[in-house]
Every structure is written in structure tokens, then in C-alpha cells.
Amino acid sequence: MVYLGWIAGTTGLILAAAISLHANILLAHIHEVGGKRRIRYRDLAGYIYGRKMYSLTWGLQYVNLFMINTGFIILAGQALKAMYVLYGGDNALKLPYCIAIAGFVCALFAFGIPHLSALRIWLGISTFLSLIYIVVAFVLSLRDGISTPPRDYNIPGSHVNKIFTTIGSVASLVFAYNTGMLPEIQATIKPPVIKNMEKALWFQFTVGVLPLFAVTFMGYWAYGSSTSTYLLNSVGGPAWVKAMANVAAFLQTVIALHIFASPMYEYLDTKYGRGKGSAFSFHNISFRVLVRGGYLTINTFVAALLPFLGDFMSLTGALSVFPLTFVLANHMYLTVKKNKLSAFRKVWHWLNVVGFSCLAVAAAVAAIRLIIVDSKAYHLFADL
């Protein structure tokens, strides 16, 4: 919102939700091709295009999920740092240290949850924790917005900078809605999988986005262009209320990270041979400690090294989210359903393929420029 303003930001959030819903429904409809459920995105692409596309899709998905996981660790670190500052910290505990602590806690959780289906009750806890953060951020932002003088909603930067930050923000918008792992999620749904996935998608992109819209619009209304990336750093109010929201944000990210790390965990388990028997046998726990611990160590190091990760997420959105969610989804649907589509629908999907390919290139250029510009202002292991 800071780099888009009210009109473009609101339009972008709604439009990004609509096109993301459309693209994910396309993927849901080709979940079963060739008489078999394709439970991994790379399996679906590999069946349709061949082995090379299997590897390319997995590479793009890996980069996307790696950046999501790294972003979650940064968010958890920011929540810890906010709690430290909230109670009069002397600034000795820097953000990189908080990120290291967050990464360690995420690793401990990953050791105890052997697979995605084992989350079960944790998903309900995650939802509850999310609501705590959203309600607190919304109410405190509303309170501040009523009591503070008029805010500045002007988009910061020169005319040229505004053009590039706008394009980069578009990539961030689609990054916020998409994960590149819909087939993996759909694989956990009971039959009829296509119909049930459609119901889930419609619910998520209508009712499910309302809390996101509420906290985003309220935060921007209350603080304008000075809004912090981590909203709780901007809000006023009782320390114990903000502490509760920070704790909720921290714990929620620990759970959410595990969801988006699951495809990588599954790949490592399959590749390096998880042992048979109980998931909590000594061998299997040791395997998770070694392999998942190593993966999350890399995630945590990158998070501490580059805590200004938003620029890189714009680049990731351009290089992976656009191709995976929009370009590839439309082209795969065309390939699978080509004999069942009208001429108009074929043209529509081709327009999506070409249009989003062009947007991906433009967004990548804008993100690279943003990284170069911001690298002059930030330093590695920055205490933001």
C-alpha cells in the first residue's frame, strides 16, 4: 500500500486475489490427468511436458518456498525483537540474534512434526494465533488512527522510482496470495478432490481474504506512508496487548513455516531414505534433526544476512510465482483441455500466458533495480 497508494493498492489487492483464484482453479481442474492424481506440482508438469520441465518446475517451486520460509523466519525474528524493545531492551539483542533464535525454534518444531498430515490440530492453533494478531493490530491501528493528525499518503520517491516500485509491488502482491504448491495441498483433500478444492479456493479468496484486507487497509489508514513493514512496530497501546500479539505472530510463523517447508521435507525424506517404522524412532528423529536442521540452518542464515528480504521477494515473485501460478497454469490447462475449449477460451488463456510472461520480465527488472538501490542503504546482518 505504501508504494501503491489507496487506489492502486486497493485495486491491486482485489485484482490479484481474483486472478490468483482463477489460476488456482485451473490447477485444481487438472489435478487428475492420465487417470492418476498428481500430488506434486513437479509431477503434474513432468507428466504434461516431460522430464526437463519436471526439473525446472521443481527448481522454481523450491526457490519460491525457500523465500517464503526465509520470510517467515524474519517475521518471527521481528516479533521477538519487538517484544524485547517493548519491555525496555537496551538494544543489545540485535535482529540477527532474534532471527537465529526463531530459526532454532522452527527447527525444534520441524523435528517433532514428521509430515504435513501430522499438523492437524496445529492448523487450528495457527488460525487462532493469526486472529489474535489481526484483531490486536486492527483495534490498535483504529485507536491510533482516530487520535492522530492527518496522515501523509503520498507515495515516496522520485517519478522514476515510483514506476519501478509500483511494478515491484505488483510482484509482491501476487507473491502474497500464491505458494506454488496447490497440488500438494489438494493431495490431502478427500474425494471428490476437484469439487472440494474449488469450494476451498472460493472460500479462501472471498471470506478468507477479508482479515487480510481489514488489517492492511486499517494499518495504512492509520499511519499512511510511514507504516512499518511489521505493523506492530507502528501501533501504540498497552504493552501487554502488543506483547500478546507479538507472541501470537511468533508462534504462528513457526507453524506456518512448516506447511510451506513440507514439499522440501518430503523431497529430502524421499531422496535420502527415511527409515521404516515409527516416525519417532531414534533413526527417523535423527534423520529429521540432520536433514531438516541443515535446511533450516541455511534458511536462518539467509534471513539474518538479508533481513531486508522484501526486495528479493519481489524478484522471487517475478521469477517463480508469475511463471508457476499464472504462465504455467494457463498453458498446462490449454495443453490438457485443448480439444474441449472454445476458440474464445483458447485466446483468453493464450493472452494470460503472454501477458503474465511480459509482467514477469518487467517485475524482474524492477526488482533487480530495487535491490541495487537499496543495497546502498542497507548492510548485511542489519539490525532493522
Q: Cell triple for residue 345? A: 477460451
Cβ within 8 Å of residue 158, ≥6 positions away: none
Count of CB atoms situated within 10 Å of the CB of 217: 17
In this prediction, residue 273 carries a pLDDT of 66
| pTM of the complete model | 0.84
- Burial pattern 336-375, b for ≥16 Cβ within 10 A else e, equals bbeeeeeeeeeeebeebbeebeebbebbbebbbbbbeeee
- Structure confidence by residue, pLDDT tens digits, 317-340: 788 888 888 899 999 999 998 888
Q: What is the pLDDT of residue 338?
A: 84
Return the pLDDT at 164. 81
What is the number of other CB atoms lying within 10 angstroms of the CB of residue 112? 12
Residue 274 has what pLDDT?
Answer: 65
What is the b/e burial string over 114-137, where b = at least 16 CB atoms within 10 angstroms of the residue's CB? bebeebeebeeebeebbebbbebb
232 C-beta neighbours (distance < 10 Å), count: 23
CA-nearest of 93, 96, 128, 94 to 256 is 128
Angle (CA) 204 209 214, round 5°:
160
- Rounded Cα distance between 335 and 333, Å, is 5
- For 285, the grid coordinates are 528423529
What letter represents residue 80's amino acid? L
Contacts of 33 (CB under 8 A, 6+ apart): 44, 47, 48, 336
Q: How much is the pLDDT for 311?
A: 67
Residues of the chain where predicted confidence (pLDDT) is lower than 50:
none
* Residue 348, pLDDT score: 93
Which residue's entry shows cell 536462518? 300
Neighbours of 51 (CB within 10 A): 8
CB 304 within 8 A of CB 99: yes
Task: Give the DSSP per-residue string, 326-350.
Answer: IIHHHHHHHHHHGGGS-HHHHHHHH
